[in-house]
A and B are shown apart, each in its own frame.
Chain A
């Protein structure tokens, strides 16, 4: 399997605070990786490092052998799509305007061509938002916005999909369908990296979990290895009871 990202002893310092330190990680195509950890553990920082949006203060973050931060932005965006938390916008863009913005890295002119139109329609269909394509983006609910932002990333037709808490505003049905879709995409060869707080969803769908605490990687491996009661209690300071599904994946109950 081809290694896409290689992060070598990378750290990020804001002011005098090390928000991420000494992180080493390799990410391969066809993987579905979940990044988990408490608030302020450095999950989003790690994601922006991978997305080339933050520059490592120490160490390196390489994408296909070159520093992610130093890539030509357009070339990088043709390969890597990022969905950050909901984007507020002051202006009346329609849902399809927002999704169309995902096509900019592939743009050949000022207007969308036939290929763009197809990609936009398919992406809207994939998140079940095609009915809303003429709606003002600002009038959507948080969950609907999240689905539109995912559609914009899908329209980008990337090899790598990076997501920051993509299901935080989704209802149960859409949480499951999102994760099913992410697993499908990784099955098709995409590298999917998702920051999440929902360990049960991560356990059920991701093949690999990276657990962060206080800016360092505490564990990295398949859910059955990473999600042990002792480690989770040490990282999250809650009591955790780990059960096993019939399929072998762990599922957890939390309590005081």
Chain B
């Protein structure tokens, strides 16, 4: 009967996971196959230059970074939306991207290039993200207890302070550095070293596992803190775990790519409309679909105006925005 299924269409968890995984595979293959230059796979496999180098040193690591970026941002989005009980929360709501950006901009403005073999910009972005995270938790805790409202207020405030500091810094420097700042803030994916990818995986994989492990707790917290506390969830502890996990996911990828808008908002939202709000399915599907989405956007960013690259953050919004509007308007009263 229609009245009994109103609002939540039923899709089996297995088929949803299979679909999202398929999207991931398609996006990965597309990311490796397409680029500004047509790749000859036969000569790449035979180790012939330059196809071999393009495949191994550019396409594959770049696609892997795009996958991690999309997956992490979508996952952080889902998590912050649950913790803040607000479908409009994004990975950047708690100020982590503001901190990362400020760190990166400082590195650009002061011309730091490398530190101990690592990119100074990424390193400074990591430090900025970490500093903001600590500041946020300290500001938001009241006698050792966290509440989502105070996290939200602290995050929004820190974000706008960082934004103002970035504008101030870029107004002081010359045109060239100012352009580098703007370019960083647009978000873009470059092929990283494999050692960077290994580090990224070592940091992000356990965090993703922790986030998935507590899916049932996120379900309860997304209804309410009292609701969760009355059903045995240590709300303050779980808010801290969620805040740390989401900030690490966001901070680590933002340090490498700059802020990439919209993934953390649109992917969880689309999945919630399709699958309902149970985080046990929402979390794995968000990761897979977010990864696929950014990897595909990255393919477009390389190919649309090749050899000119459009920043991937621009593509996610330009493609994602209209798609999202179409999705909302194709469901009557679906904005929820």
Residues of B within 8 A of A136 (CB): 6-8, 276
User: Cα distance A53–B227 when bound, in Å?
Assistant: 10
Contact status of A87 and B7, CB under 8 A, knowing A77-B232, A104-B233: no
| A14 in contact (CB, < 8 A) | no
Separation of A90 and B223 alpha carbons in the complex (Å): 7
A73 touching B276 in the complex, CB below 8 Å, given contacts A89-B223, A92-B336, A135-B4: no
Query: By the criterion CB–CB under 8 Å, are B8 and A92 in contact?
Result: yes
CB-CB under 8 A from B213, the residues of chain A are 110
Q: Among B41-49, B66-74, B118-126, B214-222, which stretch is in contact with chain A?
A: B214-222
CB proximity to B under 8 Å, residues A96-124: 97-98, 101-102, 104-105, 107, 110-111
Please give me the residue from chain B that is nearest to A81 by CB atom: B230
Q: How distant is A193 from chain B, measured CB to nearest CB, in Å?
A: 14
Interface size class of B (residues with CB under 8 A): 35 or more
Contact B223 A93 (CB under 8 A): yes
The residue of chain A having its C-beta at the shortest distance from the C-beta of B237 within the complex is A73
Contact with B along A56-80 (1 / 0, CB 8 A): 0000000000000000011111100
Q: Are B4 and A73 in contact (CB under 8 A)?
A: no
Task: Report how far A101 CA is from B4 CA in the complex, Å.
Answer: 20
Chain A neighbourhood of B233, CB < 8 A: 73, 104
Chain B 1-37 interface 0/1 with A at a Cβ cutoff of 8 Å (1 = within): 0011111101000000000000000000000000000
Q: For the complex, is A94 an interface residue (Cβ under 8 Å from B)? A: yes
Q: For A104, what are the chain B residues with a Cβ–Cβ distance below 8 Å?
A: 216-217, 220, 231-233
A92–B7 touching, CB < 8 Å: yes
Chain B window 205-247, contacts with chain A (Cβ cutoff 8 Å), 1 for yes, 0 for no? 0000000110111011011101101111110000000000000
Contacts of B314 in A (CB 8 A): none
With beta carbons under 8 angstroms apart, the residue of A53, A75, A105 that contacts B226 is A53
Q: Does B87 contact A (CB under 8 A)?
A: yes
Does B272 sit within 8 A of A, measured CB to CB?
A: yes
Q: Which residues of A contact B277 (CB under 8 A)?
A: 89, 91-93, 97
Contact A78 B4 (CB under 8 A): no
**How distant is A49 from chain B, measured CB to nearest CB, in Å?**
13
B201 within 8 Å of A by Cβ?
no
Question: How many inter-chain residue pairs (CB < 8 Å) link A and B?
Answer: 103
**Is A90's CB under 8 angstroms from B226's CB?**
no
Chain A residues, Cβ within 8 Å of B227: 84, 87, 101
B113 located at the interface, meaning its Cβ lies under 8 Å from any Cβ of chain A in the complex: no
Residues of chain A within 8 A of B193, CB atoms compared? none
Partner of A135, one of B6, B226, B234, B273: B6
Complexed CA–CA distance, A131 and B230 (Å): 27
Q: Are A51 and B4 in contact (CB under 8 A)?
A: no
B40 within 8 A of A: no
A182 touches B (CB below 8 Å): no
Establish whether residues B234 and A93, one from each chain, have CB atoms under 8 Å apart when the complex forms. no
**Are B6 and A90 touching (Cβ within 8 A)?**
no
Give Cα A224–Cα B15 distance, bound, in whole angstroms. Answer: 60
Give the CA-CA distance A139 to B86 in the complex, in Å: 18
| In the complex, residue of chain B having the shortest beta-carbon distance to the beta carbon of A88 | B224
Cβ-defined partner of A101 (8 Å) among B6, B220, B272, B336: B220
Which B residues fall within an 8 A CB radius of A? Answer: 3-8, 10, 82, 85-87, 212-213, 215-217, 219-220, 222-224, 226-227, 229-234, 272-273, 276-278, 280, 336
A contact set with B: CB distance below 8 Å: 51, 53, 73-78, 81-82, 84, 87-94, 97-98, 101-102, 104-105, 107, 110-111, 131-136, 138-139, 156
Q: A92-B276, A92-B336, A134-B8 are known; give 14 further A-B pairs, CB within 8 A.
A: A53-B226, A73-B233, A75-B232, A84-B230, A91-B222, A98-B223, A101-B220, A101-B223, A102-B231, A105-B232, A135-B4, A136-B7, A138-B7, A138-B336
For the complex of A and B, list the 7 residue pairs with the smallest distance between their C-beta atoms, beginning with the closest. Answer: A136-B7, A77-B232, A74-B232, A91-B277, A105-B232, A82-B230, A93-B277
Q: List 11 A-B contacts (CB under 8 A).
A: A53-B229, A74-B232, A77-B232, A87-B227, A89-B222, A89-B224, A91-B87, A91-B223, A93-B219, A97-B276, A134-B5
